[in-house]
């Protein structure tokens, strides 16, 4: 019903509903740093930069090229070293804040005096496109084409890997949203008697007042589904009941409502429920 096969959104994680250390108060969550290091909730962010050669007057045209200080005025602060000879950065190059990714110059009219900076050798003005100062990443794709006037048009797509950190927001499929309050390494996280360590810990106080009962049913069914190695359907359009899921859990040797005895990651002592 949710079509997660065709259009997946998010990942299935091992979730504990538990008070642990107090860093998951007020809708924050505790996340397993070791899981993050293994790639949990890692995502790719793409941003496209584009520019085109514009016509100035009748026959004067801007040009994509690598600007040089000897003949170009008003160069920007960022480095021009990552540009190829055609003035455009190559795919696969690592770039960071304010690096120039599209080099472009505009010709100066012969009679123009640019704030007195100009000498006889200066014939062009810089019109390049820098990367945003807060971003860094890798050039993913470069596209060069021409527009209707026959002038060149460039599109550069940048790729950044986003890794979860404190303050990032996550949500379940039931609108239970929260930010990361702290990340613990696997050895500092609580564990079950089987040695299962959760990927994230949410606070039990998020459940009663919001009455997201379907959230708990989905958690219970997902535990059964992962144990038997099949997909579960927790939508209300099937004849799955809480009692039927509970009996399946009990048959497999677990507590019928999905409770687990857990042990403190720091002390190794049993947690009191």
| Catalytically annotated residues | 27
Contact 127, 75 (CB under 8 A): no
**Short-list 116, 124, 179, 128, CA closest to 156:** 128
**Short-list 60, 46, 45, 48, CA closest to 153:** 48
Q: b vs e for 127-162, b when ≥16 Cβ sit within 10 Å of the residue's Cβ?
A: bbbbbeeeeebebbebeeeeeeeeebbbbbbbeeee
Instruction: For residue 265, give both structure tokens.
Output: 């990651």
Q: Strand, helix or coil at 130?
A: strand
């Amino acid at each position: 019903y949710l079509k997660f096969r065709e259009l997946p959104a998010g990942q299935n994680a091992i979730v504990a509903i538990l008070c642990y250390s107090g860093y998951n108060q007020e809708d924050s969550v505790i996340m397993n740093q070791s899981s993050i290091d293994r790639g949990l909730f890692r995502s790719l962010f793409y941003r496209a930069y584009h520019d085109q050669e514009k016509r100035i007057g009748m026959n004067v045209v801007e040009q994509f090229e690598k600007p040089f200080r000897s003949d170009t005025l008003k160069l920007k602060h960022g480095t021009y070293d990552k540009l190829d000879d055609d003035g455009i950065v190559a795919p696969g190059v690592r770039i960071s804040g304010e690096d120039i990714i599209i080099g472009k110059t505009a010709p100066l009219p012969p009679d123009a005096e640019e704030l007195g900076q100009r000498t006889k050798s200066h014939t062009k003005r810089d019109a390049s496109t820098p990367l945003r100062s807060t971003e860094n990443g890798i050039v993913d794709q470069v596209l060069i084409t021409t527009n209707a006037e026959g002038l060149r048009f460039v599109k550069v797509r940048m790729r950044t890997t986003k890794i979860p950190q404190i303050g990032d927001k996550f949500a379940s499929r039931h609108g239970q949203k929260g930010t990361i309050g702290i990340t613990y390494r696997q050895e500092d996280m609580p564990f079950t008697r089987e040695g299962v360590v959760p990927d994230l810990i949410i606070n039990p106080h998020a459940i009663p007042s919001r009455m997201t009962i379907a959230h708990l049913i989905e958690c219970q069914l997902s535990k059964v589904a992962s144990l038997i190695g099949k997909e579960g359907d927790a939508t209300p359009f099937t004849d799955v009941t809480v009692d039927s899921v509970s009996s399946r859990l009990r048959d497999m040797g677990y507590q019928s409502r999905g409770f687990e005895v857990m042990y403190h990651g720091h002390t190794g002592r049993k947690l009191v429920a």
